[in-house]
Amino acid sequence: MFKKILIANRGEIAVRVMRACHEMGIETVAIYSDVDREALHVRMADEAYHCGAPPARDSYLVVERVLDIARKCGADAIHPGYGFLAENGDFADSCQAAGITFIGPSGDVMRAMGDKVTARQTMQRAGVPIVPGTTETLSDEQATAFAQEIGLPVMVKASAGGGGKGMRLVREEKELEQALARARSEAQASFGDDSLYVEKFVEQPRHIEIQLLADTHGTTIHLCERECSIQRRHQKVVEEAPGNGITPELRERMGAAAVAAAEAVGYVGAGTCEFLVDKHDEFFFLEMNTRVQVEHAITEAITGVDIVKAMIRACAGEPLGIEQKDVQITGHAIEARIYAEDPDKNFVPSPGEIIVFRPPGGIGVRLDSGVYQGATVSVYYDPMVAKLVCWGANREEAIERTKRALSEFVVKGIKTSIPFHQKVMRHPVFLQGRYDTGFIDEQMDGGKGGETRGGEEDAEVLRVAQIMAAIAAYRRDKDRAAKASGSVGGGSGGDPWRDFGRRAALRGGLR
């Protein structure tokens, strides 16, 4: 087993990996940019080293600097987390050349699965169903001709990268030229590669992914599925596990396809196969993420498997120690990604110092975060503040627990997406569990709208408001009468703290 691991990342994923390492008796090394000197991951690490200026291209993405630090501190492995260098095949190769273990698949595997066109070709050969479309990159003229051939709507997609970058939905032919231009521009800016391909748009798709683990001893297993259909601009914001309405038969078929995909490229470590599932429960390979994912925690919650520890062990050459027959689903888990964004202003970023940070707790509540009270959310990096993961014995309990945890979660000094998540948890379509990737656009006006209420609920809200108004008027008149008669204590028994609490409650509660 490794003695010292450098975590080539920051924020909550760096903290998550450090916790796993510390439980395994492994020393940890943090790297930090100028603005991250006081970051939580730096404070938690056994050692920490400066890696450059705030922009990621000048710090966390500088391969040689990261490797130099690893050599200097004597780290025998590097964990990349997600983002930054996590899916950079050249970085994995450089680690190997330096005699440092990269905790993830090989560079060749990342290149095979990181490029979506190559991945589609590989999956087609492995017998994994893919969305109808091209298996090679196209010029604008070829893309236009192919779109006309298979019929609109289509998705124009960047071959490299992910995270919703370089993707455009085209429903009408007149939109195609502009979609191609914008997708190429965004892909070039994000990934340095403007290669595009075209695939048929799956109507009413659900985004279902299968978590994979593989070791060097020939064992590859899946940890069942996650539902990731609640997305805003192709970015996941709420996930749950297991998937809604996924039958044991469909789970088995998708799991087998994901394992076949991993085995086809000789995968080692933790990874994820992402699928689109249509309204007929037919599934199609979307892409493979060759890293630990943000939402891995909900799979841990329902299976009891520590995915980060498993990938560390696998990359150290140890067997997984778990077989497919050992994987069992217990209960239901929901993850809400809390971002430093203002949902009332079209989710504009809200960087700044966190003045108050009071996280939720209680049974079944897990919070993975890279911040603390007094920390600063920087403009230079992803605005995710925390991942709230709530487990319940069933979906209903998981939802109620998430509602309760969100109501307890207090963050001040910056705006967060907590109010948006509260709306999702109350939305009748979400509660029914019958939603697809169009949920936020179609049911919540792109995130600006809220939950819908029925007539009875509207009437109840009005009734409560009327009662509260009457109580306020009564107490106001009583206070005036007490003052006029010279009474002390406001007429409520002389307990000033109780009086203050009651007045605060009428004003909407203590904030």
- Residues with a known catalytic role: 291
Cα–Cα distances in Å, from 295 out to 189, 238, 241, 415? 26, 9, 10, 22
Using an 8 Å Cβ cutoff, are 59 and 33 in contact? yes
DSSP secondary structure string, 229-254?
A: EEEETTEEEEEEES-TT--HHHHHHH
How far, in Å, CA of 425 to CA of 388, rounded?
13
How far, in Å, CA of 82 to CA of 291, rounded?
6
How far, in Å, CA of 138 to CA of 351, rounded?
39
DSSP state of 130: B
Residue 191 makes CB contacts below 8 A (sequence gap 6+) with 158, 160, 161, 165, 166
Using an 8 Å Cβ cutoff, are 504 and 510 in contact? yes
How far, in Å, CA of 149 to CA of 222, rounded?
37
DSSP state of 84: T
Tell me the three state secondary structure of residue 148: helix
Tell me the three state secondary structure of residue 62: coil
Instruction: Give the tokens for residue 504.
Output: 């605060």
CA dihedral of 237, 239, 244, 246, whole degrees rounded to 10: 120
How far, in Å, CA of 33 to CA of 14, rounded?
14
